[in-house]
Amino acid sequence: MIKIKQNFLDKAITVVNPQKGLNRVRARTQLGVLSSSYGGASKKKTSMKGWKSTQGDADSTDLSDLSLLRDRSFDLYRNVPLANGAINTASINIIGTGLKLQASVDGEALNLSDDKALELSRTIEKEFSLWADSKECDASRTSNFYELQNIAFLAALLGGDVLGLLTHIKRHNNPNTLAIQLIEAYQISNPNNKPDEQRIAGGVEVNEFNEPIKYHLSKHHPYGLFKGRNTWISIDTFSKSGSRQVVHLFEKIRPAQRRGIPYLAPVIESLKQLGRYTDAELTAAVISGIFTVFIKSEAGDLDQAKSEDIDPEKEWGLGNGSIVGLAPGESIESANPGRPNQNFDPFTLSIIRQIGSSLQIPYELLIKHFTASYSASRGALLEAFKFFRKKRKWIEFNFCQLIYEEWLSDAILDGRIEAPNFFDDMGVKKAYCKAFWNGDASGQLDPVKETKAAKMRCEEGFSTRTKEAAEINGTDFNTNISKAKNEMQKIQSANLKNTSSQPDKSDKPNKQGGKTNE
C-alpha cells in the first residue's frame, strides 16, 4: 500500500477547504499507484534502490568497456577450462571443418536450362575450390579459406569482432589475385587514439545513415612487439568501382551499433569466480593428499625455541612407516581440509547450467557429459543446434557469401567464368551468386536412424543428396557417385561378387521354420 504524506500546502488547503485538500491527496495517491505499475521500474522498493542502470546508445554504453572486456575474454580462454571449452565447442559445431560452397545458379532467372545452370554451378565450384583449398587465398599464405573461417570466427567470439580486408596480390602462377587479410579487433581504433565522436567512434566512420563508410586501423597491434610510434591507415568499405574492400564480422544487436561485444561478456564474472573456486578446491584437495601435520610445542615457535635439543635449521618431514621422536611438551596435530568437498560437483553444475543458458549451449554439451536417456541427450543436441545453425547462417551471410561474391566478380572479369550481363543488373548478379554453404552435421547419436532420416528427406524433397553428403561426412555427392561408379566397374572387371546386395543366408528360414546354420 502506497502511503502519501501531506505537504505544507496540502495541510493549509485542507484547513480552508477540506474537500479540495482531500481531492489533492486522492489525486497524488492515484498517480503514485500508476507510477509503480511495473515493479522493475520502482525507485522506492528496497530491492530496487541500489540498482544503477545505464542509459545511452550502443556507442556510449559499449565502447568504453570494450577494451577491458576483450582482455578478460582472451584471458578466460587461455586460463579457465570451462571458458576454453565453451568457445571451442561453439567453433567445432558451427565451423567444424569449414563451410563448403554449393553454387546454385538461378537458371530460371537467367533463362538457362537446368542442365546449363547445373553445369555452370559445377564450373564455379571447381574454380572456387582451386582458390579456397590453397593458402594463396590468405594474404599471409598460412591458411586456406576454411581455416580462415575458423580463425575469423574465434576472433569475433573472443574480441567481439574482426575485419577481413579484401586485397589483391599478384603471385607467380596464380590466376586469383584476391587475398584475405584478417585484422584483430584491437587494431580498429580512432586515428591517434582520439576520443569518440558522432562521426568516428571505435575506429568506424559512418555517414548520416549510420552506414560504415571507412575503417581506421593502427598499423601495428597496440600491445604487440612493435615498440615504436604507431601509425594509422584508413580503408574505405567500398572502392570507387563499387567492389567491397572490408568485411566486418560482428553480431549486431542494436540499430546504431558499430562494434561487436565478446561472446563471453555476460558470463565473464561467473567464469572467473568459478575458476577461482575450482583452483581453491583443487589446492585444498592437494593439501589433503599431502597429509600436512603441525608440531604443537609448549615452548612456542620452533624458530624461537631456546631449547638446545631443537635445531632451528633442521628440516622436518614424515616418512613411510617412520617413528618420529618429539621433544618434551610437543604433540602432533594434523590439518584436515575436509576435501574432496562433497558439495563441489552439485554447486559447480548449478553455476554451469546458468552459464550454459547464457551462452545457449546445454550444460551436457558444455562439459561433454551425457548421462541422460537417448531422448534427453538428443533433445539437448537439437536445442544446441538451433543456436549453432543461427550462428552458422550469421557467418555465412556476413563473411563467406560476401567474400564469394567478390571472388566471383574477379573470376568473371578475368574471363575464367562466363556470366553475361553480370555487372549490368543487380538481379542478374544475385542470380549468378546464389549459393548454399554446407557445414558439418549436428552429430549422430544413432547413425542408422540418422542415415534413414537423411534418405527420407531426400526422397520427400526436403533436402538434396549434395547437402546431406556435405553435412554427414563433409564429402561431395557428385564426387562420391563418380568414385562409386569407378569402384563398381573395378569389382565387375575382377569378377568379384557385390556381397552388399546379397541376402544373409543365416537369416533364411529352413523347412522346419528355423534358421539355417550355413
For 328-430, list the strands marked E by DSSP: 330-334
Mean pLDDT of the chain: 84
The partner residues of 165 in beta bridges, in order of sequence, read 181, 246
For 184-316, list the strands marked E by DSSP: 200-201, 204-206, 212-218, 232-236, 246-249, 293-297
Query: Which has the higher per-residue pLDDT, 51 or 195?
Result: 195
On whether both 19 and 67 belong to a single domain, the answer is no
- For the record, the C-alpha cell of 150 comes out as 575458423
Each residue's pLDDT tens digit, 115-174: 999 999 999 999 999 999 999 999 999 999 999 999 999 999 999 999 999 999 998 888
Return phi, psi of residue 150, to 5°.
-70, -40
The partner residues of 297 in beta bridges, in order of sequence, read 330
On whether both 5 and 136 belong to a single domain, the answer is no
- For the record, the C-alpha cell of 394 comes out as 550469421
- Asked whether residue 429 is assigned to any structural domain, the reply reads no
User: 576520443: which residue's cell?
Assistant: 195
| 308-313 long-range contacts, CB within 8 A, separation 24+ | none
- Asked whether residue 285 is assigned to any structural domain, the reply reads no
Residue 402 has pLDDT above 80, yes or no: yes
Q: Which helix (H) or strand (E) holds 167?
A: strand 162-168
Sequence-ordered alpha helix ranges (H) in 414-512: 426-433, 447-459, 465-473, 477-493
- C-alpha angle 193/70/365, rounded to 5°? 160
On whether both 28 and 73 belong to a single domain, the answer is no
On whether both 149 and 9 belong to a single domain, the answer is no
Return the minimum-mean-pLDDT range out of 55-59, 251-255, 302-306, 377-381. Answer: 302-306
On whether both 133 and 246 belong to a single domain, the answer is yes
- Tell me the C-alpha distance between 369 and 376, whole Å: 12
On whether both 133 and 29 belong to a single domain, the answer is no
On whether both 8 and 91 belong to a single domain, the answer is no
Each residue's pLDDT tens digit, 217-255: 999 999 889 888 999 999 999 999 999 999 999 999 999
On whether both 27 and 66 belong to a single domain, the answer is no
- Tell me the C-alpha distance between 299 and 295, whole Å: 11
pTM here is: 0.77
Chain-centroid distance of CA 470 in Å reads: 22
The strand pair at 200-201 and 100-103 is best described as unpaired
- Tell me the C-alpha distance between 23 and 31, whole Å: 12
Question: What is the pLDDT at residue 217?
Answer: 97
The answer for 191, left when phi > 0, alpha when psi is -120 to 50, beta otherwise, is beta
**Which pLDDT band holds residue 25 (cuts at 50, 70, 90)?**
confident
Sheet holding 232-236, edge to edge: 200-201, 204-206, 212-218, 232-236
- Asked whether residue 487 is assigned to any structural domain, the reply reads yes
Domain span including residue 14: 1-33
- Asked whether residue 282 is assigned to any structural domain, the reply reads no
On whether both 234 and 153 belong to a single domain, the answer is yes
On whether both 137 and 198 belong to a single domain, the answer is yes
Task: Say how many domains are in the chain.
Answer: 3
